[in-house]
Amino acid sequence: MKRRNFLATAAATTVAGCRRDGTPARKEPAPVKLAGLSLDDWRDRFRKELFEVMLPFWDRHGVDHERGGILHALDYDGTLVRPEKHHWFQGRAIWVYSFLYNRFGGDPRHLEIARKIRDFFLKHARQPDGFYAELLDRDGRVLRPFQGDVYGMYFLAEGLQEYAWAAKDEESWDLALDLMKRLSRYIENPRLQLPGSPAPGARPQGLWMVNLRTATQMLARRRDAEIEEIAEKAVDAVIHKHYNPDIGLNNEDLAFDFSRIKGQENKCLPGHSIETLWMIQDEALRRGDTKLWDLCAERIERHIEVGWDSVFGGIIEWINVDQGCYEWPVERPVGTDLEFRFRGERFYLKPLWALNEVLVACLNVFERTQAEWASRWFGRAQEIIDRHYARRNGQPGYMLFADRRFTPQPKVARQDNYHPPRQLMLNLLVLERMLAA
């Protein structure tokens, strides 16, 4: 054998097998793959979607740069369907643009958008009772005062606390703190009828979800005994009370005393459960509670498996276990003109937001465990979004709500300025951490 070839062969043997001193060579770990793609591929894809498609869409069509506030009633191409400003979307927008500023480069333009939305809403929507109007026209005139839709109040509190951190604004922090504590007292009324609840005094899981999400973010920045109590009560309610061991799923609605409501014992809203459980995982990480985190991972997998339509794909809105002839109440998603009617065990309305939450939950689990199931469901959820919800005729907007077969809708009357950008931002932060590690 020629000396040159021998040395090449010996060098290759050293790299692949043993060092020259005879000790085993250290093998480089195989690159991590998520649903068949590299972490770099996912990061690049999500960054492009967020910064080159989604944010420019909202900048051109949703953000009211002249008056302040944000418009949500948009078609796929951004055409304005109704010139109204709903309270859900104002608080959510304050959070999105403040979070962008805090976590993605400190672009002053993002902070300015958040400030103008905040100032517009605080100026026009404040009510004498300390809450805020539910619907404004484009110029800020009140179309509907506060009528009990507390979810918009929670989104406002979440947005204000994030803005406070971005702008170093103590007034916004105090407003968020006061709103959270005011809401905590408000919901402790056994006669209170919350939007979408089946009976007065009913406690929906979604209420604990919005309480916990804002509380966890606030506690990561400042300690407060009442906010700690809000977070603790929310975790306990979801983990120990809403969870129904008979079906292995979370009930969405319980009675005021946390007993199961007659006729609601077997009902679960899988998307809300998945969303709430990843939020409890965030709270568990803040506390350093690994057992709680692991329990949430198990229940996330269970809710995805049960909520997935095995025929057409996607996450169904509701399941009522063993109720094959159940006639579901008519569903009219907020901010749309859509109406859905179903009969049977499963309610086959399929919301995009539920798939966004699957992506967040699965990547959270994958980051710490690299579990095969988390990678698999992440890929399946993204594939359904790509195939059915995104880029209708090449336009930048999304279809937000679909029937079982994802029947195409030529026009829509609402876009979502919260779940899709939140999913992209949270997933990007995880991917960056994994790549850095």
pLDDT tens digits, one per residue of 178-227: 999 999 999 999 999 888 888 899 999 999 999 999 999 999 999 999 99
Phi/psi at 163 (5° precision): -65, -40
Would you say 50 and 425 are in contact if contact means Cβ atoms under 8 Å apart? Answer: yes
In a domain, 218, yes or no: no
Closest by alpha carbon to 128, among 153, 145, 152, 150? 145
Per-residue model confidence as pLDDT tens digits over 36-82:
999 999 999 999 999 999 999 999 999 999 999 999 999 999 999 99
Using pLDDT thresholds of 50, 70 and 90, give the confidence band for residue 24: low
Q: Does 311 score more than 50 pLDDT?
A: yes
**Structure-token pair, residue 367:** 């980051």
Any domain includes 168: yes
Residue range(s) defining the domain that contains residue 144: 68-186
Q: Does 145 map to a domain? A: yes
Q: Is residue 203 part of a domain?
A: no
* Position 60 in a domain: no
Share of the chain above pLDDT 90, in %: 86
Beta-ladder partners of 318:
347
In a domain, 92, yes or no: yes
Tokens 């009219």 correspond to 332
Domain assignment of residue 77, yes or no = yes
Into how many domains does the chain fold? 1
pTM: 0.92
Pick from 193, 229, 190, 197: which is nearest to 211 by CA?
A: 229
Whole-angstrom Cα distance, residue 339 to residue 225?
A: 43
Nearest residue to 210 via CA among 223, 222, 196, 199: 196
Average pLDDT over residues 429-433: 98
In a domain? residue 261: no
